[in-house]
Amino acid sequence: MPEHAVPAPGGIDTDAAASVSPASLRDEPLDVEIVDSSLVYHGRVWDVRNDRFRYGDHDLERQYVDHPGASAIVALDDEERVLLIQQYRHPIRHRDWEIPAGLLDMDGESPLETAKRELAEEADLGAEHWESLVSVFSTPGGNDEVVHIFLATGLRSLDTVHDREAEEADIRIEWVPLADAVTAVLEGRLRNGILAVGVLGAAERLRRTES
């Protein structure tokens, strides 16, 4: 065994684990029989549903947030600084640092179109280059949200300045070196999950491009 290798815990089928090739390592969709589905709560932004479904030989019951999904943006300028936004989030009682993001709540709008709209609305910016960076299930045990994160470069200021209200009325916008944002995530000073995935993904994308 290599010097720093960690032995598999007892009972783990290491041969089966080794059979997963890098190319086939992915989340697998699974259609289960929904015995009953009911609306528990109808909210302004998202709903709560109660599903009873057949899994194996058992009927299971789970409640979860029925979420429209979201898009988020890692906006990088020519100096490899990332745009961060700080605003108040009531559930966590923090003004946390985030990357621009918004719900997929416009009929017929693609995740990329939502990302472009949110960057304009939250930061009055447009971008010449857009590419898909990564997508994540934000909380798979509690909701069905998928967040699509895009990398935006070739940034430009827009002529239109958007009005902002409620928690967005006093948002703080900062341009932070990407390396500093990565360090803050790894040190636990920035804890927003979408920000963490976005800046770490962008840093890795740049590393692979430059290597």
Cβ–Cβ under 8 Å, residues 148 and 72: yes
Across the beta sheet with 81-89, what order do the strands follow?
A: 94-98, 81-89, 172-177
Q: Residue 167 in contact with residue 88, Cβ under 8 Å? A: yes
Token pair 């989340």: residue: 27
What sign results for the dihedral spanned by CA atoms 102, 105, 110, 114?
negative
User: Is 168 annotated in the active site?
Assistant: yes
Q: Name residue 209's amino acid.
A: T
Residue of 61, 168, 174, 204 with catalytic role:
168
Catalytic residues: 168
